[in-house]
């Protein structure tokens, strides 16, 4: 089968499609024939080599963490799903390999009827991450939350999940994305110089928590909450620990503990919440672009441009 991978650090051009052996469902897992899969922005940092001291890599490195497709194998001890079912979900963080013709999922949920394959293929990673961080920050009704980088793949889902929890959400993005953020239920503002003052004008009562999806502004984000413990980042910002900010990641602690501390438990319960919200018309997964599997290089280039609004996906 085909799978996207890279065999050395470098620019997007090191990405390529290889013929590899098919995976098979084991106990507690299912295999799907992939219809669409998500591009992980974190993997662009891994591929470039920027994270080589944080995330050890064994080459070749197969990419992709979330996918959607049709179940074609069901492992032992799995109930509630059968061959032919349409699902979305995620792979084991140690295995990845979702950007392929077939992949094995360790967590999944039924594909919402309202979602296209592209939306479903890029949903699980953003849903899990948004749930994990909002849970850690204990965001709930009556809170005010700032989402830094709100127009990206994770940010768009985080805004909607926070709104669904009853929070008031402020989101940062370029001005051309402000109407888009309003459509998701967020008060928009721009990032960059003057952020602290702009946010205080929008939230005179203060901000309870900050979800940083973008990186590069942690001192301002700390100033906005007044407490680094109320800021959680998912960006590969290695200054976080020194500033007292938690860098949330879902890979097993043994892989990266020496550099960034213990991993947070994966919030796989978020998949079920996503299905419920989608059924109510309260969650969409904005897709910035969909590329054929063979054009993974172009997909990574778009991701690194930082101009993608929503999730970038690969389609089979």
Surface-to-core class of residue 262, CB atoms within 10 Å of its CB (0-12 exposed, 13-18 middle, 19+ buried): exposed
User: What's the pLDDT tens digit per position in 130-143?
Assistant: 999 999 999 999 99
Residue 284 has a pLDDT of 95
Position 258 pLDDT exceeds 50: no
User: What's the pLDDT tens digit per position in 153-174?
Assistant: 999 999 999 999 999 999 999 9
Residues of the chain with CATH 3.40.50.720: 127-260
Position 252 pLDDT exceeds 50: no
Which of these, 310, 307, 273, lies nearest to 290 by C-alpha position? 310
Residues of the chain with CATH 3.90.180.10: 2-122+285-315
What ranges make up the beta strands (E) of the chain?
2-6, 16-19, 30-38, 61-62, 66-74, 86-90, 102-105, 107-110, 144-148, 168-172, 187-189, 209-212, 231-233, 246-247, 287-292, 311-315
User: What's the pLDDT tens digit per position in 203-249?
Assistant: 999 999 999 999 999 999 999 999 999 999 998 887 899 999 999 98
User: What's the pLDDT tens digit per position in 261-293?
Assistant: 457 888 999 999 999 999 999 999 999 999 999
Q: What is the mean pLDDT of residues 19-25?
A: 97
Query: Thinking of the domain 2-122+285-315, which architecture would CATH place it in?
Result: Alpha-Beta Complex (3.90)
Q: How far is residue 45's CA from residue 76's CA, in Å, rounded to a whole number?
A: 36
The whole-model pTM stands at: 0.93
Q: How far is residue 202's CA from residue 188's CA, in Å, rounded to a whole number?
A: 9
Q: What is the mean pLDDT of residues 188-204?
A: 97
* Topology of the domain covering 127-260: Rossmann fold (3.40.50)
Position 254 pLDDT exceeds 70: no
Residue 257 has a pLDDT of 39
On whether the CB atoms of residues 153 and 137 are closer than 8 A, the answer is no
SS3 sequence of 16-78? EEEECCCCCCCCCCEEEEEEEEECCHHHHHHHHCCCCCCCCCCCCEECCCEEEEEEEEECCCC
Residue 262 has a pLDDT of 54
Mean pLDDT of the chain: 93
């Amino acid at each position: 089968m085909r799978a996207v991978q890279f065999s050395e650090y470098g620019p997007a051009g090191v990405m390529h499609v290889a013929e590899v052996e098919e995976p098979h469902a084991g106990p507690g897992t299912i295999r799907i024939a992939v219809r669409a899969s998500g591009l992980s922005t974190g993997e662009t940092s891994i591929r470039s080599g920027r994270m080589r001291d944080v995330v050890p890599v064994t080459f070749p490195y197969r990419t992709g963490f979330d996918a959607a497709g049709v179940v074609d194998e069901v492992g032992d001890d799995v109930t509630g799903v059968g061959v032919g079912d349409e699902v979305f979900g995620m792979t084991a963080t140690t295995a990845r390999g979702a950007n392929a013709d077939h992949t094995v999922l360790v967590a999944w949920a039924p594909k919402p009827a309202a979602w296209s394959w592209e939306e479903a293929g890029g949903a699980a990673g953003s849903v899990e991450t948004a749930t994990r961080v909002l849970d850690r920050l204990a965001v709930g009704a009556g809170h005010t939350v700032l989402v830094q980088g709100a127009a990206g793949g994770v940010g768009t889902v985080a805004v909607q999940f926070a709104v669904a929890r009853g929070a008031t959400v402020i989101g940062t993005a370029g001005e051309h994305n402000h109407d888009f953020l309003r459509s998701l239920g967020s008060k928009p503002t721009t990032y960059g110089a003057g952020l602290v003052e702009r946010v205080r004008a929008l939230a005179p009562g203060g901000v309870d928590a900050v979800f940083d999806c973008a990186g590069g502004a942690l001192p301002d984000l700390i100033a906005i909450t007044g407490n680094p413990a109320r800021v959680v980042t998912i960006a590969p910002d290695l200054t976080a620990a020194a500033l007292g900010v938690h860098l949330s990641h879902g890979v097993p602690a043994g892989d990266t503990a020496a550099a960034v501390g213990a991993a947070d438990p994966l919030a796989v319960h978020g998949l079920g919440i996503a299905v419920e919200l989608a059924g109510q018309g309260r969650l969409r997964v904005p897709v910035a672009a969909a590329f054929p599997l063979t054009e993974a290089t172009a997909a990574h280039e778009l991701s690194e441009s930082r101009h993608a609004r929503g999730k970038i996906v690969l389609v089979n």
